[in-house]
Amino acid sequence: MGEATKTHFTARRAVVWLLASLGMIVLLSILAVLLGTVIMHFFGSVEQWQQWRVENYWILLAWRLCLYTVLVMFWLQLKARLPRPAPGPARNRLIRVEVMVVLLVLLIELSKAALRWTEAV
C-alpha cells in the first residue's frame, strides 16, 4: 500500500467517524426533545415528573438493577467468546475498565439515592 493510499484511507476513516458522531448527536438531540415532549404531555411540568420519580424510586431502582443484571450477563457471555489477553498491560486495562464501569454505576445509584433522600425530607 502506497503512502497516498494510506493517507486516503485514514482521511476516509476520519470522515466516516465524524459523520457517525454527528449522526449520533442529532439522534440523541431528537430523542431528548421527544422525551421532553412526552414528559410534558403526561406530567404537565418537570416538577411533577421529578415528584413522580421520587415517589416511584424503588420501582425504578428495581428496573435499573434488572437492566444492570442483563448487561452484566451479556458482557460475561461476550467476554467468554473473546480471546483471553495474556497477563500484562492489555489484561490490566480490561480489568481497570470493568472496575471503572462498576464504580460509575455505583456512583450514579448513590447519587440517585442521595437525591431521593434529600427530596423526600
Residue 120, pLDDT score: 61
Residue 60, pLDDT score: 92
Residue 6 has what DSSP assignment? H
Backbone angles phi, psi at 44, to 5 degrees: 85, -35
Query: What's the angle, vertex CA 67, arms to CA 63 and CA 69, rounded to 5?
Result: 115
Report the amino acid identity of residue 38.
Answer: V
What does the pLDDT profile of the chain (121 residues) look like in tens digits?
A: 556 566 667 888 889 999 999 999 999 999 999 988 998 888 888 889 888 888 888 999 999 999 999 999 999 999 999 888 788 887 888 889 999 999 999 999 999 888 777 766 6
Which has the closest alpha carbon to 79: 104, 57, 98, 52? 98
| CB crowding 97-111: b at 16 or more within 10 Å, else e | eeeeeeeeeeeeeee
Long-range contacts of 28-31 (CB under 8 A, 24+ apart): none
Give the residue extent of every domain in the chain. Answer: 1-44, 57-121
Residue 118, pLDDT score: 76
